[in-house]
Chain A
Amino acid sequence: MGDSFITIIAIFLAAVLMFVFPLMAMADRSDDVSTLAVQTATTDFVDKVRTTGKLTIDDYDRYVSTLNSTGNTYDVDIELQYLDENPGVKTTQTEMTKIGENLYYNEYTNQVEAKLNSKGRITLKEGDRISVTAKNTNQTISQILKNFFYQIAGNNTYNIVAQHGGIVTVNGTK
């Protein structure tokens, strides 16, 4: 009786060791590679916008399809901050000793996508800022396996995340 109990435990342990742990390790590696691919795509996309001053619908679609080619689904958040120098100019105009402060107007993902769909591109200028974040929305194999052992629940359960941003260095009017 005791022997068969130990045998069952041994088989169970063997199964876990032989299948589950390597699978979990490989799934984690696969997630790491996906994170890398997503981070590279995000960095390339943001740097292209920064150095050309233009955000075109072609570039955006290409970025999203690169993300999807990793086999997961992603939530992309874009934040554009437009530099408005007019308040700064007005302050300096009335008070020669002051450098007025500039303002930034924010535009978020939905507005950016609407603009891209209607006009095909967004023209940025030097001094504007862009920030892009991509998080996965599906459950990767690694997450499923981890869920099996310990519950992972809640909204912020993303495994793969990439974030990049910066200041736009050139006017995109040409």
Chain B
Amino acid sequence: MKIQYLAVIFIIIILPISMVISYYVNAQIKTVSQQELYDAKLVTATYDSIRSFQLNTINSKYSSVSDSKIRDIEAGITSFFNSLGTELGATGYSREELSDFIPAILYSMYDGYYIYGKYYDASIEDFRIGLKPYVYYSCRYFTGSSTYNFVVNYTLDNTITIYGLVNGKKVTTSGALIKIGDYEHNANSLKTYTYITSTGNIVSNTIALGGNKYKKVQIDPEILSEKLIILDENNNPSTESAETYEYVTYKDQKIYIEKDEYGNVARDSVHKYYKTTNINNAGKHRSEVDASEIEEYPGIKCFFYNKNKKQYVTDIERIAYLEALLGQDSEGHTHVYSNSACQYYYDAYVFSNWVNDEIGDTIKQEHAYEVNDENEFKKITDFNVKTDGPIFNLEKEDPTLSSSTFNSNRIDVIQRSIKSNLSAEMANFNVNGYDYRMPQLTDTDWNKIVNNMCVTTFMQGMPIGMKYYNNYCVIPNDKNKEVVTEDSIYVLVDEDDTMDERGDIQAHYAGCTDLVDKSDKVFAAYRNIDFERQTVMTSGEPRYYYPHDDQKSYNCMVSGNGTYDLEEIIEGKIMKYSTEDDKYIEDTSKSSKISNLRKIYLTALAREKYDLYRTNGYFGVPVE
């Protein structure tokens, strides 16, 4: 045979094989490229959803009220679909078609979560897609008898709510948990004040002031201030630039204090308020008390910031509270000091003592039960991390540490609850015949969900070449009014001690490596959302201002230089790697310098947590 014929036969055999392999490889390549494209678009669309939620809540004064929250979440979901629809629009998918490929969106919040998905609506007797009811991160503990049969609602930090039977008594109570030994109580720190209501009843109230110590740091009342733009009655700004006002938070609302021309707290000359000089008169009526024991005082001039205007406060309870917080600084000027941080630690101490006494040694992971529809108790055995010791023993363990039994159980309860509800939700989402299932989330992603407010989106069932697309995206929302995390506090440093408004004050992360040397110059700390731009709609153009407009540090906040671990700052022990010992040891030269930083930081963290809006009013130990 001629060699040409052999060549031709060879080509006839090899060419089709080559073409098929080439086609197969190309198809695989296209599939994977398409997958990456969709991955990137999913991340972008999820981030757009978070951004929309951030912008809505930061600029809203009522964002923590549940109806407002639902509205903001639904706006975030709309942003997600719009963003994804725009990006995938070129490939031919409209928004309506896209919702067939999104089996669930999870909005995990401070004490529970919302799932956006398919549910059965009894009013229309059909399935519809929307926001399902709020689910709490809860776990029931039952010791077998009616002595202990209660539910604990966990949150993203160390606050819990307990309701049910504890030691045979029915209780409903909430509070923050701390290690009992970390708090040193000073009996002189409690102050009782009185006021007389409009009906003549004498009421007393006890608040915690300075002098107590937490983790060996003295927690004192502080002066808080921020900038505002105030509109006059014609909706025009009353000043050329935003002005600084001192404020205090009472029952989750900020009250701003007016100052007179001498820099002291201004007094209200119109309204009159009364209190009694003898604390023992509390509970009586004014008419039962001797007139010499009734004292009149002028109220403090203060206002709420309502719709960008001043709404003066004349409420007797609030004015009495502010009066009790009056103090003088070193220059003799009067201020209203915020005691939120002192109150937070005191309340946490009282609550932790109660929890430790009632359930500290008793309740362990083995007492966790779930109740099914037939009211049968079934023990929970599928925890990720098995712990043997008591969960709420606050004498031995610090619940604020990530390594504690309490924290490990908290994470497990949150994961279990989310996993079971999401799996059920996705299994019910039967569209186009595709088998929707909840994917396995990585540990990094679970870590984000259990420690911060997150949005998790799932996209499945989209045909992409040789397979179906199946992926998810978890993005935390760092700037929110839902939860105060340890890294959401920015610390203010006055570089040259002059308290000059322009230029010298810098904002740093609490763990900034520079702060070890500048710890003495740290004078205040605020939440990160107070450094975001606010918009005020006036009769003309919109006006913009920053409640805190301090320059962000170029060392830690602008450029990406590392920071110390915040748990090291909280404990007061900066660690360094020792090559001689081949392990991490305390760097005592640095640890000794950060006492002022720790004081300001721990005070600010407690104050922000205390001032956070709470939706349930059961804070405190149950009254006997």
Contact = CB atoms under 8 A, between A and B. Distances in A.
Interface of A: 7, 10-11, 13-14, 17-18, 22, 25-26, 29, 32-33, 35-36, 39-40, 43, 47, 50-52, 55, 80, 82-86, 89-90, 92-94, 96-99, 105, 107, 115, 119-126, 128, 164, 166-167, 169-174
Nearest to B476: A170
B562 A86 contact: no
Interface stretch (B38-46, B171-179, B357-365): B38-46
**Which 9 residue pairs spanning A and B have beta carbons closest together?**
A14-B7, A122-B560, A169-B47, A173-B487, A96-B543, A43-B36, A123-B560, A171-B478, A92-B544
A89 B3 contact: no
A165 B557 CA distance: 21
B160 interface: no
Contacts of A85: 552
A93 B22 CA distance: 62
Interface in B13-64: 14, 18, 21-22, 25-26, 28-29, 32-33, 36, 39-40, 43-44, 46-47, 50
Contacts of B485: 174
B39 A43 contact: yes
B29 A93 contact: no
A170 B29 CA distance: 31
Nearest to A85: B552
Contact of A99 (B26, B533, B558, B559): B533
Contacts of B478: 126, 170-171
B229 interface: yes
Nearest to A170: B476
Contacts of B452: 174
A88 to B, nearest CB: 8
A90 B501 CA distance: 12
B229 A36 contact: no
B10 interface: yes
B473 interface: yes
B242 A51 contact: no
Nearest to B550: A89
Nearest to A92: B544
Contacts of B557: 125
B558 A83 contact: yes
Interface string B530-568: 000100000001111110010110100111111100100
B40 A51 contact: no
B10 A96 contact: no
Nearest to A50: B43
Contact of A55 (B544, B560, B563): B560
A17 B4 CA distance: 11
A139 B14 CA distance: 27
B68 interface: no
Contacts of A124: 560
Contact of B560 (A14, A80, A174): A80
B509 interface: yes
Contact of B36 (A7, A14, A40): A40
Q: Which of B29, B36, B546 is the most central at the interface, judged by chain A CB atoms within 10 Å of its CB?
A: B36
Q: Which of B241, B509, B558 is the most central at the interface, judged by chain A CB atoms within 10 Å of its CB?
A: B558
Contacts of A121: 562
B32 A36 contact: yes
A89 B551 contact: yes
Interface string B464-481: 000000000111101100
B451 interface: yes
B43 A96 contact: no
Contacts of B7: 10, 13-14, 17-18
A98 B544 contact: yes
B562 A120 contact: yes
Nearest to B551: A86
Contacts of A169: 43, 46-47, 50, 475
28 contacts: A14-B4, A14-B7, A22-B14, A25-B18, A35-B29, A36-B28, A40-B32, A47-B39, A86-B551, A89-B546, A92-B546, A96-B237, A96-B544, A97-B541, A97-B544, A98-B544, A115-B561, A119-B562, A122-B561, A123-B563, A126-B479, A170-B448, A170-B478, A171-B487, A173-B487, A173-B509, A173-B511, A173-B566
